[in-house]
Amino acid sequence: MLRATILLCIMFSALARPLPPQIERQHARPGAIAQSYRVFLPIVLNQPTRFAVIGDFGLAGAPAAAVANLVKAWQPQAIVTTGDNNYYSGLAGTIDQNIGQYYADFIHPYLGSYPAPNNPGFNRFYPALGNHDWNSSTGYAAHLSYFTLPGNERYYEVLIGPAHWFILNSDVNEPDGITASSAQALWLQSALAASTACWQIVVLHHPPYSSSAGMAQRRPRNGHLQLGAPTW
């Protein structure tokens, strides 16, 4: 997709409605891990949980540094991305410069070479894959080697405080497919049905539907990238 950085700061409050029991236990035991997709951060009940959502950001330089400084000023508990984290071709040789240089304090385990003096020792960075994170020779290898994420690491779920995030891979090269009947879509439908979180948020790089004529031609309504969106 065209590179235009997306920035969003989201705040959730646990006061909105009663928390399910497993989320209450999560808050009571920061730092523990009960299930592979759950993340236990030092979040305080009755106070907002802040997330930063960024996308199409992964090209080192002054603009990327400005975005990172703004994100850090928000003091988010976690960062979620909508893909295109590592321009232009998802190479192992550029991923640390494009991402770790700015977000090393949020990535754990951090395997790069930049300072991470404020890394708390648990992961707070949850990227979705975009088309620029795939390489024609190595596929998603750079992404999979650089990050330690739940599940198969291409698409996964993570529960942080009162928010249950479903991070999808909408790239056409996803091995499990991106159609409404694909393994990925069936996983999403099952995971959403099982979730009892206060907020359930689906994140992906490409829109399931678009008013853009060009996007409609490349991703028709009944073709790929639907991922069962009407049933979410």
Burial of 23 (0-12, 13-18, 19+ CB in 10 A): buried
Residue 33 binned pLDDT confidence (cut-offs 50, 70, 90): very low
Count of structural domains, the chain: 1
1: in domain: no
What global pTM score does this model have?
0.82
Q: List pLDDT tens digits, range 180-217.
A: 889 999 999 999 999 999 899 999 998 877 666 665 55
Residue 36 in any domain: the answer is yes
Report the amino acid identity of residue 215. M
Q: In the prediction, which pLDDT does 29 show?
A: 32
- Identify the pLDDT of residue 214: 60
In which domain, by residue range, is 36 found?
6-231
137-185 pLDDT, tens digit per residue, is 999 999 999 999 999 999 999 998 889 999 999 999 999 999 888 999 9
Q: Is residue 28 part of a domain?
A: yes
In a domain, 101, yes or no: yes
pLDDT of 18 > 50? The answer is no
pLDDT digits (tens, 9 = 90+) for 80-131: 999 999 999 999 999 999 999 999 999 999 999 999 999 999 999 999 999 9
* Residue 72, domain member (yes or no): yes
